[in-house]
Amino acid sequence: MTVLNILLVEDDQLLAKGTAKLLERLGGHQVFITAEPKEIFHRCSVGAVELVIMDINLPGARWQGQKVDGSILSRYVKAHWKDIPIIVVTAYTMPAELHLLLAESGADDCYTKPITDYESFLDVITQLGKKRN
């Protein structure tokens, strides 16, 4: 099994903590939680991240004085650290529109929340982690 350092970008702390516990217990991964763009970019720049799970809706997130969402942050990460896989997650996109979100964000995969099939989700994380290594 591939164990990864995962950065979980989520503004809902209760959801973030629950998701992190599942990823740690079921997948053995190390999970760091943040909703702050500055911390996202710092962790990516120092090599502390092997995969990012990025929420799209991040109310209050600001970067360089501008309001940003997960799609913008995902594009920025991909522009600077192409080898870091990103999975975007959203509760506000219909399943038939996920391909548009994927194209807009530049991410490697996307899921709707709530994630109900963690086995499948962990399989995708493992596959993306193997591609990186």
Domains and CATH numbers, the chain: 5-132 (3.40.50.2300)
Phi/psi for 92 (5° steps) reads: -115, 15
Look up residue 71 and give its DSSP letter.
Answer: H
Residue with tokens 């989520």: 10
Residue 34: its pLDDT value, please?
98
* pTM assigned to the model: 0.95
Residue 132 pLDDT exceeds 80: no
Task: Please state whether beta strands 109-112 and 86-90 pair in parallel, antiparallel, or not at all (unpaired).
Answer: parallel
Sheet containing 30-34: which strands, arranged edge to edge? 30-34, 5-9, 51-55, 86-90, 109-112
User: Average pLDDT in the 25-33 region?
Assistant: 96
